[in-house]
Structure 1
Amino acid sequence: MYDSAGLQVLSREECLELLGATAVGRLVYTERALPVVHPVVYALDGECVVLRVPDGSAALVARDTIVAFQIDDVAPDLSRGWSVMAVGHATEVREREWLARLHRLPLASRGHGGGDHFLVVDLEVLAGRRIP
């Protein structure tokens, strides 16, 4: 299927496959009524995006809110590429068993001295497009 711009519409499964194959994305949230785009390292866990955020990170403002998450890979000349966008609730994980499992994901600590937080974004809306 193609959209009105002639881009191929990706299925949810194709979007999840692309999310699982990359490691850097953009977390989009609101701070003081203004949009913020924050680059983040992430891992896919089932149908959730998991972020390991250092203590003091600006991205912690996004916890307990609705956020957008976006990844892409587009050639500079626009001859090929794709984009995936998700919307969902961002929740900070505090349960000990869940944290133990998330610590095993391939997410290196980005902070100095520990104090990392894990934010999980449930992928409630997921859409993607590919340049044919």
Structure 2
Amino acid sequence: MDPRNELHTLDFKECFELLRTQSVGRLVFTERALPAIRLVNYSLFNGEIALRIGRSPRLPRLDRAVVAFEVDNIDSTAHSGWSVVVIGKARQVVDIDELVMLCDPAHRPWASGGGDQVLCIDTEQVTGQRLPLAPG
């Protein structure tokens, strides 16, 4: 196997640089004792992942829950790409100053009818991998 095609581990700084390049990721949490995944748009806010999501019977209260958040960019034609995973505790934002900043249009959810719950995920554990562009 060509070592140039092997997965490379990304450091914390590289992971954050890549997180800044995207706006959509996957929120992973537990729902009725089973894993659940929701596609959400996000932004970085004070070193945390910030999400504005709607309250829904399908989406449990996530305040203080340990969650995972995954972002990637894959080129299936070139067989290259990267993935960053954040694992941390979600917290419901209740501080008025934070809410004002996070209710800015730059943080608006893409899905209509959503956005009345603001969550931030701490970035306690951040890992990433990159599969470089195949030579040739």
TM-score grouping bracket, smaller chain normalisation: 0.7 to 0.9
1:36 counterpart = 2:36: yes
- Displacement of 1:105: 6.1
- Within 1, Cα distance between the matches of 2:77 and 2:131? 11
- Within 2, Cα distance between the matches of 1:60 and 1:31? 7
Gaps of 5+ in 2: none
Distance 1:98 1:50, change over 3 A: same
Q: What is residue 27 of structure 1 aligned with on the other side? A: 27
Q: What is residue 47 of structure 1 aligned with on the other side? A: 47
Q: What is residue 96 of structure 1 aligned with on the other side? A: 96
Q: Which residue identity does 1:50 align to in structure 2?
A: A
- Displacement of 1:20: 1.1
Count of aligned positions: 127
- Displacement of 1:95: 1.3
3-state DSSP of counterpart to 1:14:
helix
Q: Which residue identity does 1:46 align to in structure 2?
A: N
Q: What is residue 66 of structure 2 aligned with on the other side? A: 66
- Within 2, Cα distance between the matches of 1:37 and 1:129? 20
Q: Which residue identity does 1:89 align to in structure 2?
A: K
- Within 2, Cα distance between the matches of 1:62 and 1:87? 14
Q: Which residue identity does 1:79 align to in structure 2?
A: H
Higher Rg:
2
Distance 1:74 1:36, change over 3 A: same
More divergent stretch after superposition (40-49 vs 21-30):
40-49
Q: Which residue identity does 2:20 align to in structure 1?
A: G
Instruction: Say if 1:43 and 1:105, in contact at 8 Å, map to a contact too.
Output: no
1:130 counterpart = 2:133: no
Cα distance per residue 1:70-114 (max 9 Å; x no partner): 0111122462100000100001101111111212361224343x7
Q: TM-score, normalised by structure 1?
A: 0.85
- Within 1, Cα distance between the matches of 2:47 and 2:67? 15
Q: TM-score, normalised by structure 2?
A: 0.83
1:79 counterpart = 2:79: yes
- Within 1, Cα distance between the matches of 2:55 and 2:36? 18
- Displacement of 1:27: 0.3
Structure 1 stretches (4+) deviating beyond 2 angstroms? 55-63, 109-112
- Displacement of 1:25: 0.2
Q: Which residue identity does 1:21 align to in structure 2?
A: T
- Displacement of 1:120: 0.3
